Each structure stands twice: as C-alpha cells, then as structure tokens.
Amino acid sequence: MSAEHKVALVVGANGVIGRNLVEHLAELGDWTVVGLSRRGGADRERVTHLQVDLLDPEDCREKLGGLTHVTHVFYAAYQDRPTWAELVPPNLAMLVNVVEAVEPVASGLRHISLMQGYKVYGAHLGPFKTPARETDAGHMPPEFMVDQQEFLERRQRGKAWTWSAIRPSVVGGTALGNPLNLVVAIAVYASISRELGLPLRFPGKPGAYDKLLEMTDAGLLAKATVWAATDERCANQAFNINNGDLFRWNEMWPKIADYFELPVAPPLPMSLDVVMADKESLWNAMVEKYDLTPTKYADVSSWTFGDFVFSWDYDMFADGAKARRFGFHEYVETETMFRALFDDLRRRKIIP
C-alpha cells in the first residue's frame, strides 16, 4: 500500500491536530492532501484547502461531492459547546455529514480515521481507572466520541473500507486560534508573568500539582494516525497514543519557568479565564514592544482549556502498550516537547 499514491481528506485541517497531520502527509511524498476547515487555507504543492460548513449537510454535499479520488479520511474536527450534552449533536452531525457526502462518491475509499481522546474513558468527569486501556468499560452518556465511533462501526459493516480510533492525551502543538491549545496558553501566561515582573505560579487546583499525567506531541500523533490508517493490522481498532512518559506539574512547572527565565512561587489557585480576561491591552503593547507577529489576543487565549487541564486533581494517563504491540514505537520526551514548541513560538515571533 505504501507504494501507491493516496489521497487524504483531513477534516479540521487548521487545528492543533489537523495542521500537523497535513504537514506530515505532505512530507511523506506519496499523498495528495485536501484540507477541510471553516477558514480554508493557502494551497501549495500536493495540498489544497476547502472552506466548508460541516454543520450544513447541503454545503458538505456540494463542496465534497466531487472528491471521488479520496482514499483516506482523517477526521479531527471539533466544535466546542458549554456542556457535555450540548457537545453531542454538532460533533456527531459534522462527522455524519462528511461521511455521507464522501463515502458514496469515493469508490476507492480505504479508511476513515477518527480522532478521539480520554473522554472515552470518562477522564473529564473525575477520577477514572488508570492506566486507561482500550478494552475498558464504557461510561454513562452523553459522550460524542462514543457516538461517533458507534456511527462508524455501523456504517462500516459490509464495506471494503475500515476505521481506526486514535486516543491522544492533551495534545502539544502551536496552532493558533484553537480553544484546546495548552502549550500556547502556558507560553502566553508565562510571557505576561515575565512582563509584569511576576514569578510563574501554577494556577490550578491544589491537588493537581502532584498528580501524574501525560501529553501527546502533535507531530508524534500525526505519525501514529497515518500508521494506524495504513497498516492492515490496525483495521477497526482503537489506540491510545501518548508521548510515552509521565510527569507531575510539581516537577515540570519549574522547568517551564526556567525556559522563560522566571522564578517559581508556590501554586495559587485561580481561574485563568478570569485573571487573564483584562490582559488584551497588555498583550497588544507586548506585540508592539517586542516586534512580534501581529496576533489577536483571542487567538492565543486558550484560558478555559488551561483551567480545565489544571483542574485535574487526579491521575490522567492511559496505557499506550497496544500501539506498541501493533508496531508503533515512536517516543517523545515531554520536557523536550515543551521546549521545542516554545522555541517554535519564539521563531515565529508569537511570544517574546
């Protein structure tokens, strides 16, 4: 299969996950990539972008009905909503709209990859069994990721194509304008702390500072996603994908502070969504002072997600052994990931 040319449809191409997936596929050389998003993007060699309203079935049929050459669908789109129950209708509908528009016309379709996460295990609800494994029992709905997988399982029966479900931890990447970007939130929080002459304080719940957790580098995730979509052994399987190491904030936080040349003060519980709400004028002044790339404060303000992650006063990790048993052996040290992503933000002049 690797010797044959493949056509990837990446749904959610501008997100932390989708953007890295597009880049990885383009680098492989034997793929043509079509990226779907609400904002679209700039076309280049082997990569084209389509601007689509995934919640509009008619728009999906009109824009995607000509994609007869697609061989692989990589679904990484997400719409945020205030409650877990409200997440279900739009996120299930977007997947259904894409599949119902593409599957009937793409006669050479081989695989649909679904991006999930540890919500499948109930990790967002409170303390859960760790390490979480792909065989763990389900939990009481609502949960859109479970509904999405069940839709694919039903749709796939009797078909030639297969599916895979990829379950990362918190994804480390640098795509801007994304509500789920922890790395950018930390980098901007640290940069503003330094500008104000403040030490770097961990803002989460007291119990969260010493619990075990893990992350998933966006580049590693892209490699794992393509691997699972193209290795026949992975057909109709779910895989936890993580960096491969565990950490505690009480050890990682001082290392992050060291990167930004900041002292560390004791943790102080506070809502970033609240305390950072009035910092837009300061951010704009920093952009001008340090000649940064003009970036809207809203595009670097993933404060709600930061509050969510820093509220985990229980262990948050899963067993990645299944992916290794099936043949995926990539590994990224999480401290190295943080430093590399902060370096990238500085190279792009997003932060000083």
Task: Calculate the average pLDDT of the chain.
Answer: 97
160 with 263, same domain: the answer is: no
104 with 225, same domain: the answer is: yes
210 with 83, same domain: the answer is: no
131 with 44, same domain: the answer is: yes
DSSP string covering 16-82: HHHHHHHHHHHHHSSEEEEEEESS----BTTEEEEE--TT-HHHHHHHHTT-TT--EEEE------S
Range of the domain at 178: 174-214+246-316+331-347
220 with 295, same domain: the answer is: no
Q: What is the pLDDT of residue 1?
A: 39
Q: What is the pLDDT of residue 25?
A: 98
Q: What is the pLDDT of residue 144?
A: 98
Spatial distance between the Cα atoms of 225 and 282, rounded to a whole number of angstroms: 39
| Rounded mean pLDDT, 80-108 | 97
Structural domain count of the chain? 2
| Rounded mean pLDDT, 291-312 | 97
Nearest CA among 49, 47, 48 for reference residue 28: 47
Strands (E), 57-208: 72-75, 111-115, 162-168, 170-172
Kindly report which listed range (37-41, 103-107, 137-141, 268-272) carries the lowest average pLDDT score.
Answer: 37-41
Spatial distance between the Cα atoms of 54 and 6, rounded to a whole number of angstroms: 23
pLDDT tens digits along 211-221: 999 999 999 99
237 with 298, same domain: the answer is: no
Neighbours of 88 (CB within 10 A): 19
Q: What is the pLDDT of residue 216?
A: 98
45 with 154, same domain: the answer is: yes
How far apart, in Å, are the Cα atoms of 198 and each of 77, 188, 201, 268, 282? Answer: 37, 13, 9, 13, 14
pLDDT tens digits along 215-273: 999 999 999 999 999 999 999 999 999 999 999 999 999 999 999 999 999 999 999 99
pLDDT tens digits along 324-337: 999 999 999 999 99
pLDDT tens digits along 305-318: 999 999 999 999 99
In a domain, 1, yes or no: no
In a domain, 322, yes or no: no
Q: What is the pLDDT of residue 3?
A: 52
237 with 255, same domain: the answer is: no
Cα 211 from chain centroid (whole Å)? 22
- Provide the CATH number for the domain around residue 104: 3.40.50.720
Q: What is the pLDDT of residue 185?
A: 97
How far apart, in Å, are the Cα atoms of 278 and each of 170, 199, 273, 298, 319? Answer: 26, 19, 10, 12, 40
| Percentage of the residues of the chain whose pLDDT score is greater than 90 | 97
158 with 207, same domain: the answer is: no
96 with 143, same domain: the answer is: yes
Last-in-domain residue among 241, 256, 284: 241
In a domain, 299, yes or no: yes
In a domain, 282, yes or no: yes
In a domain, 62, yes or no: yes
343, pLDDT greater than 50 = yes
Nearest CA among 197, 195, 199, 198 for reference residue 288: 195
| Rounded mean pLDDT, 59-77 | 98
| Rounded mean pLDDT, 326-352 | 98
162 with 205, same domain: the answer is: no
Neighbours of 188 (CB within 10 A): 26
How far apart, in Å, are the Cα atoms of 154 and each of 23, 30, 151, 162, 308? Answer: 31, 30, 5, 11, 33
Q: Give the confidence band of 2 by pLDDT, cuts at 50, 70, 90.
A: very low
Contact (Cβ atoms closer than 8 angstroms) between residue 94 and residue 280: no
pLDDT tens digits along 178-202: 889 999 999 999 999 999 999 999 9
Q: Give the confidence band of 4 by pLDDT, cuts at 50, 70, 90.
A: confident
Q: Quick one: residue 7, left, alpha or beta (phi over 0 = left, psi -120 to 50 = alpha)?
A: beta
| Rounded mean pLDDT, 107-134 | 98
Neighbours of 350 (CB within 10 A): 21
Contact (Cβ atoms closer than 8 angstroms) between residue 38 and residue 24: no
Spatial distance between the Cα atoms of 261 and 255, rounded to a whole number of angstroms: 10
In a domain, 352, yes or no: no
Contact (Cβ atoms closer than 8 angstroms) between residue 77 and residue 36: yes
195 with 125, same domain: the answer is: no
Last-in-domain residue among 241, 257, 276: 241
Q: What is the pLDDT of residue 178?
A: 86
Q: What is the pLDDT of residue 174?
A: 95
In a domain, 223, yes or no: yes
DSSP string covering 230-270: H-GGGTTEEEEE--S--EEHHHHHHHHHHHTT--B------
In a domain, 321, yes or no: no
Spatial distance between the Cα atoms of 61 and 97, rounded to a whole number of angstroms: 8
Helix (H) or strand (E) holding 10: strand 6-11
